[in-house]
Amino acid sequence: VVADDVVINGRIVGRVRGLKVRLTSTARVEGDIIHKTIAIESGAHFEGSVQRQDDPINQNAKNSKNEAASPDPSKMKQVSANGSSSNPSSPKIIS
């Protein structure tokens, strides 16, 4: 999934890439999230890695260069639901 604003209400298996990413309390995500800002509501389930980038949408040159390389674990963070939320103006809703 690639979009400026991503709101996840349901289940996703795979990579999510967005400027603003929000996992609602009903979200179930298995995969990597690459974002500029992220919010994870209490009750959301997330298994994977999170990486902050200033421009997560337009990383074509960087991706083609590093596609085969493994991600650098020192730059990855494990996260859990913390009750935070955001209100993106025109989100992509995934149920």
- pLDDT, tens digit only, all 95 positions of the chain: 999 999 999 999 999 999 999 999 999 999 999 999 999 999 999 999 999 999 999 865 355 444 444 555 555 554 444 444 444 445 566 66
Question: Hey, what are 87's tokens?
Answer: 């209100």
Is the distance from CB of 25 to CB of 42 less than 8 angstroms?
A: yes
pLDDT of residue 61: 36
pLDDT of residue 5: 96
pLDDT of residue 73: 55
Instruction: Give the distance from CA 59 to its chain's centroid.
Output: 14
